[in-house]
Amino acid sequence: MSDLKQELYNACLAYVQRSIDAAQQGIIEAQQAAKEDTKSSAGDKYETGREMAQQESNRNMAQLHEANKLKVQLQQVPLIPSSVVDNGSIVFTNSGNFYVAISAGSLQLDSTKYFAISLASPIGQKMKGLKAGESFNLNGKNYSIKEVR
């Protein structure tokens, strides 16, 4: 297993954990807001405030569910070297570097930028199964694969 692959994996794990923490904090805050509204309100205002807190709690629960799904998906990413683009690959192209694991956006390691993408994403689907020296086209842009790890 390469150190780079482990670092990218850890960066994705930190991204997922931040999402989980933010969703959990949002749920706690919505519950506290609902309790405080119960103590200080009566009538329609109480019902409206409570409903808004419930909607916020539901939204955060959905975000927590999605973040947990990402965590499970990430835990299935292999940390072994590969020569063909698949889940867990690091792909160096003429138009950027990619870590095929989960959709986590841009990751900066040292002075190099990587895009964490899912194999199910459009670019992930185009790259799947390709090797160094091969190329693909996405949205009118040609990508040439320099290296796969």
pLDDT category, 21, cuts 50, 70, 90?
Answer: very high
Give pLDDT, residue 44: 58
Give pLDDT, residue 88: 97
Angle (CA) 138-88-85 rounded to 5° is 45
**What percent of the chain clears pLDDT 70, i.e. is strictly above it?**
92
Give pLDDT, residue 52: 86
Any idea where the domains of the chain sit in the sequence? Answer: 3-75, 90-148
Helices (DSSP H) in the chain: which residue ranges? 3-40, 43-75, 122-127
Tens digit of pLDDT for each residue in 85-101? 999 999 999 999 999 99
- Edge-first strand order for the sheet with 96-100 is 105-109, 112-117, 96-100, 90-93, 141-148, 135-138
Average pLDDT over residues 5-11: 97
